[in-house]
Every structure is written in structure tokens, then in C-alpha cells.
Chains A and B, each alone.
Chain A
Amino acid sequence: MLELIVYGVVLGSIIALGSIGLTLIWGITDLFNCAHGDQITVGAYIALLFVSLFSRIGFLQAKVGPFSFNWGVLLAFIPAIIISVGLAIFIEHWVYKPLRNTGAHFITSFIASVGVAWVLRGLIYMIWGAEFHFYTSGLRPMIFLPQGIKLRVDEIFIVIVAWAAVAAVYLFMSKAKMGKALRALADNPELARISGINTQRMIDWAWGLAGTLIAIAGVLYGIETQLRPEMGWIFLLPLFAAIILGGKGSITGALAGGLILGIAQQVSTAWLSPTYKPAVAFIIMILFLLFRPKGIFGKG
């Protein structure tokens, strides 16, 4: 059982990392971004592009400490983040901003984000094909903990980065002036404007933040599993479930939601076939919707 809980924490941390950017945008712009998963995929593939470019640089080929990936992968985070941020702001300006300015129903923006998702996935398929890719080849080192718990060393890295990202975004939102303005915008966009806050610039900043988190999630997800064009899309449903559990716009809620889902999914395998894991996540989500529709930390 302890073993399953540890695996659940790993899975939950990955879900949490993927869902912070999603809940942030949901809280601030009301958009339930269906392209979020495919933006994660783009982040992962952009890093792949740079990893292969860096493969000619000898000293970047050394593995980072005990992990499976090399310094090239670590360095590739930077261009992945830059391009992911640029892409997010580009989509905002060409799709969501015009829709918001015409006062479109939130479902219209949601449908538009489905279109964006397909375009991004189509591009990934066209450029990289349907086959699987890996950042680095070779064995993935394992670590053996007491109680027969086996973890990949990479997973420890992922858990640390996920929690650090949650903590950093949480601190930013509660302490930094910009973070407070983003929360103000989520609360009441018109009052934010009246107070002199340039709301469009704030929304661009929010996409910048989301784009950064998306790229980090994408590369880490790529390290954890492998790169394939559907990776982000398939990942999307648990992310939706996590942010609904956590409550609209809540960073700590996304972490709590991710952990609950991760642990519940893994623990359920003690009784159910592992293929039922996603269904367990949905049933928890639906129960939450019925009994606590504002989420764990949702505002009353």
C-alpha cells in the first residue's frame, strides 16, 4: 500500500505540474483551454529539436548526475520555454483576444481552443511523424527504497521540479505585485481596469506564465515517458479533473487535486485492473462536482 501511495505521489505531482498553467488561465480569462495538452506536446517537441541540435556539442552529452538525461536536455528547457511563451501569446492575440472582445460565450472560446489543439497536433504530426521519440537513449537508472519501493531517479527530479513550480507560482501570486494584479483580474476584470490595470497586458503576462509552465511540464513529461504527438491530448482529461477538484484558478488546489487523483488512481490498482485508473479519476471528479462543485479550495 505504501508503495502505491508513493507511486501516486509521483503521478499526482506530474498531473499537478501540468495543471497549474491550465487553472491559471481558467481563473484569469475564463477560458477552459482545450489546446493546453497540445501546447505541452509542442513544448516537449521543441526541446527535442534543440536536444538533437545540441547533440553535436560534446560536453553537453554528459549525463546530469544520476539521471537518465544529459545536459543538452537541461539546456533545451530554455528555447522550449521561449517558444512556448511566444506561441501562447500568439494564439491569445489571434484567437482568444478577438473572441473576448466580441463578448463571445465561454463555450465559443472553448470550441476555438479545440481547433487550435488540432492545428498544433497536425503540425507536430507533419514535422515529426507519428513515431515515438526519446530525448536520450540508454537505461533509465532506478533507485531502490525500503519496503520494496522502486522509483526511477528521473521521477525524483520530476517531483522536486513540480513542487518547486507550485511553490514558486503560489508565492508569485500571493506576494508579487503582478501576481496580485492577476488575482484581482480574475476576481473582477472591470474593477481591475477601473483601478488603472491594463488588463490585456496582464492577460499576456498570464499566458507568459502559463507558457513557461507548459514547456516545463512538456519536457518533464517527455523525460518520464516518451514523445508522441498524442501525449498532451491524452494527458488533458486528468488535468481537467485535477483543476476541477482544486477549484477554479487555485494553484494549491491544482496540487491537491493532482495528488488526490494520482494517489487514488494508483491505490485503486490494488483492487481494480490498472486500465480502470482514468475511470477512477473521473468518478472522483464527478463525485466532487456533485457534492462540492466549487472544488477543494474554491471560493464560496
Chain B
Amino acid sequence: MSILKVEKVVSGYEHMQILHQISLEVQEGQIVSLLGPNGAGKTTLLRVIFGILPLRQGKVYFKGEDISDIPPERMPRLGMCYVPQEENVFPSLTIQENLEMGAFILKAGCKPRMEEIYKLFPDLSNRRKSRAGELSGGMRQMLAIGRALMLNPQMLLLDEPSSGLSPLLVDIIFERIKKLNEAGVTIFLVEQNAQALQCADRAYILEGGEMKAEGSAREILKDEEIGRLYLGR
């Protein structure tokens, strides 16, 4: 069953249309990757899905429900969380406080869940009282993902989690993402790094605001033309 469905979405900023009739589908339990070069409209699409940017045409469905007009602050309640690419932590808050903010909507305490997150990202656990602004790029990325996981969402939107990280850290991040998926979280992974295909089930290629290709991750990985045209190989 598809958990997220985007139907012929048109959107953009002020006088500029960026997304032209975009459609895609994410099946429950999968990792679906959206690849494309800089400026393809990947972040714009994520912002539209999450309700930050209004759409001009088309529809977005989550678990069969129309969420086209739902504001972003209500998404976590529906079971979808989002990790932006940049500015994805609260710099003056500590690691602990950042995680607490991830569970802001919960009335009950969030301590047990926080311990689970610390288990998933042990590096964070050692520096609970450090301010997020003082963390390295890799730690910050893990904290950002940890914050989004605090509500135990059914679905996670990730915007280029590997950007700016060393190759070693990139491997670790993708491995963690795979682990999360095995634990039952559906993941929509936006990337420039074709390495994402190795952990994805399906993939879409976006360029110039248009969907250029879609298929199983394996097919896309093998397709030499796609590799040459869009993935810089």
C-alpha cells in the first residue's frame, strides 16, 4: 500500500515556477530515493510535501488522506517527520533539549524514547549537555535525525543527510538509515549522492523540476544513460 502519494504537483516561489506536474509514490516499509543535481527542485518538493510551501496544483496524500492544505506543525501528529538539509538543529539548545523539542507535542514524558535514540546514536549520548551549535557536521546530522525520530514516526523525509560529511561518515549515515528502515520506518531519501541507491528500494530522478525517470533502485543504478545524464558518472 502506498503511504505517500504525490499527484501532479505544481509549485514554486513568487514569480518562479519550480515544480512542473510532479507525481510519485512511496510504498509503506520501503526506502525511496529522489536523486537529482543541484537546483533540480528536490528541497522544494520536500517543502511542498510537508506543507511548508503551498502547492498551486495537484494533491499530496499521506496514508490515503489528502494533506495538501495541512500546515507543517500538524504533520508530526499524523506520523510524518522531516529532517531539512541545513539549519536542522536548534543551535543554542543542548542535545537533550533538541531531542525534547522533537517530542514537543507529546503530553507524556519522552525519557524512554530518548534513551532509545541515544542507543541508536551513542555519540550523542556522551554529550547530552553540549549545545547543538558546537557540534561537528556528522554529530549535527545525527542529532537532526534523532530529533525527527523522537515521535517514532511512520515516515521520515530526509533532505541530503550525507551532504558535507566525510566518506566514512556517509557510510555510517546510510547504514543507520537502513537500520531505521528495518525497524519499520518508511523513508523518503532525497540525495545528490548516488550511493543512496545502494540502500534504496526504489528511486526517482528529478531534474529542472521535472521527473525524468523512475524504477527500482537496482534498475536505475544499472542504467548507464541515467548515470551519465543525471548522476554525473
Assuming A187-B91, A187-B93, A191-B88, is B133 touching A196 (CB within 8 A)? no
B88: A residues at CB distance < 8 A? 191
B91: A residues at CB distance < 8 A? 187-188, 299
Assuming A193-B72, A196-B77, is B147 touching A299 (CB within 8 A)? no
Q: Is the Cβ of A195 less than 8 Å from the Cβ of B76? A: yes
Stretch at the interface among B57-65, B94-102, B182-190: B94-102
B84: A residues at CB distance < 8 A? 190-191, 194
B100: A residues at CB distance < 8 A? 177, 180
Q: Is the Cβ of A197 less than 8 Å from the Cβ of B90? A: no
The digit string for A172-193, where 1 denotes a CB below 8 A from any CB of B, is 0000010011011011101111
A193: B residues at CB distance < 8 A? 52, 71-73
Identity of the chain B residue whose Cβ is nearest the Cβ of A174 in the assembled complex: B97
Identity of the chain A residue whose Cβ is nearest the Cβ of B77 in the assembled complex: A196
B133: A residues at CB distance < 8 A? 299
CA distance A199 to B74 in the complex (A): 11
A299: B residues at CB distance < 8 A? 91-92, 133
Q: Is the Cβ of A194 less than 8 Å from the Cβ of B101? A: no
Assuming A187-B91, A187-B92, is B104 touching A177 (CB within 8 A)? yes
Assuming A177-B100, A180-B97, A191-B84, is B90 touching A196 (CB within 8 A)? no
Quick check: is A108 within 8 A (CB to CB) of the other chain? Answer: no
Q: Is the Cβ of B52 less than 8 Å from the Cβ of A190? A: yes
Quick check: is B204 within 8 A (CB to CB) of the other chain? Answer: no
Question: How many B residues have CB within 8 A of the partner chain?
Answer: 28
B229: A residues at CB distance < 8 A? none
Quick check: is A225 within 8 A (CB to CB) of the other chain? Answer: no
What bracket does the count of chain A residues touching chain B fall in? 10 to 19
Quick check: is A198 within 8 A (CB to CB) of the other chain? Answer: yes
Task: Choose one: B72, B92, B97; the contact of A194 (CB below 8 Å).
Answer: B72
Q: Is the Cβ of A196 less than 8 Å from the Cβ of B87? A: no
Closest CB of chain A to B87's CB: distance in Å?
Answer: 6
Identity of the chain B residue whose Cβ is nearest the Cβ of A299 in the assembled complex: B92
Closest CB of chain A to B58's CB: distance in Å?
Answer: 21
Q: Is the Cβ of A196 less than 8 Å from the Cβ of B92? A: no
A residues 193-220 near B (Cβ < 8 Å) are: 193-199
CA distance A198 to B72 in the complex (A): 9
A195: B residues at CB distance < 8 A? 76, 101-102, 104, 147
Assuming A187-B92, A187-B93, is B101 touching A192 (CB within 8 A)? yes
B76: A residues at CB distance < 8 A? 194-196
Identity of the chain A residue whose Cβ is nearest the Cβ of B96 in the assembled complex: A180
Task: Choose one: B77, B87, B104, B151; the contact of A188 (CB below 8 Å).
Answer: B87
A187: B residues at CB distance < 8 A? 90-93
B residues 33-85 near A (Cβ < 8 Å) are: 50, 52, 71-77, 81-82, 84
CA distance A55 to B173 in the complex (A): 70
Quick check: is B105 within 8 A (CB to CB) of the other chain? Answer: yes
Closest CB of chain B to A56's CB: distance in Å?
Answer: 46
CA distance A193 to B50 in the complex (A): 11
Known: A190-B87, A194-B82, A197-B101. 10 other contacts (CB 8 A): A180-B93, A180-B100, A183-B90, A184-B97, A187-B90, A191-B90, A193-B73, A194-B52, A194-B73, A195-B76
| A-B CB contact pairs (8 Å), 21 listed | A180-B93, A180-B100, A181-B104, A187-B91, A187-B93, A188-B87, A190-B52, A191-B84, A191-B88, A191-B89, A192-B101, A193-B73, A194-B50, A194-B76, A194-B81, A195-B102, A196-B73, A196-B74, A196-B76, A196-B151, A299-B133
